[in-house]
Amino acid sequence: MNENLTADRPTFVTHLECSMTGERYEADRLHNLSRVGRPLLVRYDLDAVGASLSRDQLAARETDLWRWRELLPVRHTRDIVSLGEIETPLIPVPKSGGAKVLVKDEGRLPTGSFKARGLVMAVAMAKELGVTRIAMPTNGNAGAALAAYATRCGIETIVFCPEDTPEINVREIQAQGGRVWRVNGLIDDCGAIVGKGAGEGRWFDFSTLKEPYRIEGKKTMGLELAAQLGWRLPSAIFYPTGGGTGLIGMWKAFDELERLGWIGSERPRMYAVQASGCAPIVRAFEAGEEHAERWEDAHTVAAGIRVPRAVGDFLILRAVRESGGKALGVGDPAILKAVDECARRDGLLLCPEGGATLAAYKQALKDGEVDEDEEVVLFNCATGLKYPMPEAPNWLDRHGAIDFDQL
């Protein structure tokens, strides 16, 4: 069986620090945001990690997420929780994308989305730090991942989602033991309810970036990508950006890998992809702002990136700018067309948010922003099976005469 889940391994967290001010916070204690209301980042003794672990040792381990244990915050092996966090495959999409375009298919993770990466880590840390009741606002997939992992280790969960959250998400949260409420509002309205209850001491607040460990889980996307590509990185990454935890996490991962000497100083251009109907990061990027204002009247078929306000806005914008990338908005018609083309031509069913990255890539190609010779990775953040597909109306009467020429 998988030793990553059972072997005791050394851990190297030294402290946490405010992503805005750099102020230091103690490790191994419960935290939400920093004193100035910004996300906390986990810091490691990377010299000691490097002395303890080599790339060859890593290569000999099972390839799941927990192989990165020395770069993760969980201290005790007994606190690991797992539903099989496999390494997600890189799938070429030559016909709908191009010869050098790879889709990282995060829909293969537990509960069918990349939210599993963040939540498996946050739940394991909650378990380690003695949390017994968690609440969270969600557009769907994060709540499903939370419910699955928390249920698995006996933590109670209460989840709030916008009333138009896909039915399948609401039901899977409940099926997996979460208590779930639909709310007449958007995700930040749900977040306000969670915040109020947390303020009253009713539960621990698991909102995006409001606890420090989801980002450490999401960081494994960057670690994994580097390992899969033989310790190099692609020229560009197109990432569907709502709360942006994954983009921030990958950017952090690349820094840690460079400090370990496992990769060089080259970085992919990071493209933060949003829907034009909810594009606060794109607007702030284009205006040269450091922070993004709330986007009013948010709407898009890609519910996972319908996030009007991101608490880590400045971290997303900073990573995108440092990388030489951009924030890009794509319309719903382009998103749906990309989903359709990828399935119909390459046999790969993307989620709408994954479709958004393909649409953004095609636009960037047209604009000369990327070259078709550049290796590019698109993140498909969830299985396409969770989303509506066009009707298939053909019907045949087996008792009738079948006109085979018409089939």
Q: Which of residues 226-265 bind a second copy (CB under 8 A)?
A: 228-230
Which residues in 178-217 contact a second copy (CB under 8 A)?
179-185, 189-190, 192-193, 196-197, 200, 202
Should residue 1 be labelled a site residue for a second copy when binding is judged by CB under 8 A? yes
Closest CA to 165 of 191, 146, 145, 137: 137
* Binding pattern for the stretch 78-117 against a second copy, x by CB under 8 A and - elsewhere: ----xxx-xxxxxx-------------x--x-xxx-----
Angle at 286 between CA 284 and CA 291, to 5 degrees: 20
User: Under the criterion CB under 8 A, does residue 297 sit at the interface with a second copy?
Assistant: no
Ordered DSSP codes for 88-120? PPEEE-TTTT-TTEEEEEGGGSGGGBTHHHHHH
Which window, 47-55, 271-279, 293-301, 394-402, contacts a second copy (CB under 8 A)? 394-402
Binding to a second copy by residue 396, rule CB under 8 A? yes
Q: Does 395 bind a second copy (CB under 8 A)?
A: yes
Rounded to the nearest whole angstrom, what is the least distance from the CB of residue 292 to a second copy in the complex?
Answer: 23
**Stretch in the footprint of a second copy (CB under 8 A) among 176-184, 208-216, 257-265, 294-302:** 176-184
Asked whether position 292 contacts a second copy by CB under 8 A, the answer is: no
Interface with a second copy in residues 35-64 (CB under 8 A): 63-64
**Given candidates 149, 204, 254, 379, which one binds a second copy under the rule CB under 8 A?**
149
Instruction: Count interface residues toward a second copy (CB under 8 A).
Output: 79
Residue 394 near a second copy by CB under 8 A: yes
The least distance separating a second copy from the CB of residue 126, rounded to whole angstroms, comes to 14
Q: Which amino acid is at 221?
A: M
**CA angle 205-210-212, nearest 5°?**
110
The reply on whether position 148 binds a second copy by CB under 8 A is yes
Contact pick of 297, 399, 401, 403 for a second copy (by CB under 8 A) = 399
Query: At closest approach, how far in Å is the CB of 311 from a second copy?
Result: 19
Q: ∠ CA(112), CA(115), CA(121), 5° rounding?
A: 120
| Binding of a second copy by 353 (CB under 8 A) | no
Say how far apart CA 111 and CA 116 lie, in whole Å. Answer: 7
Long-range contacts of the stretch 257-264 (C-beta < 8 A, 24+): 257/222, 257/223, 257/226, 259/46, 260/46, 260/49, 260/50, 261/50, 262/55, 262/226, 262/231, 263/226, 263/231, 263/232, 263/233
Q: Is 125 in the site for a second copy (CB under 8 A)?
A: no
Assess 172 for contact with a second copy (CB under 8 A).
Answer: yes
Residue type, 88: T
Is residue 77 within the footprint of a second copy (CB under 8 A)?
no
Q: Are 242 and 305 in contact (CB under 8 A)?
A: yes
Query: Taking CB under 8 A as the rule, which mask of x and - marks residues 3-42 in contact with a second copy?
Result: ----------------------------------------
Helices (H), 347-381: 352-366
Q: Which residues contact 275 (CB under 8 A, 6 or more apart)?
A: 300, 301, 302, 305, 306, 329, 330, 331, 332, 335, 356
Q: Work out whether 403 is an interface residue with a second copy (CB under 8 A).
A: no
Closest approach, Cβ 48 to a second copy, in A, equals 29
- Judged by CB under 8 A, the stretch of 27-35, 38-46, 66-74, 392-400 that binds a second copy is 392-400
**Pattern 320-349, a second copy, x by CB under 8 A:** --------------------x--xxxxxxx
| Nearest CB to a second copy, comparing residues 15 and 152 | 152
Q: 230: how many CB neighbours lie within 10 A of its CB? A: 6
Q: Can residue 401 be called a binding residue for a second copy (CB under 8 A)? A: no
Inter-CA distances, 106 with 47, 61, 154, 221, 312, Å: 31, 21, 26, 9, 22
Question: CB under 8 Å to 235, separation ≥6 — which residues?
Answer: 268, 269, 370, 374, 375, 376
Residue with tokens 């594009």: 279
d(C-alpha 151, C-alpha 172), whole Å: 12
Please choose, out of 40-48, 155-163, 286-294, 301-309, the segment that lies near a second copy by the rule CB under 8 A.
155-163
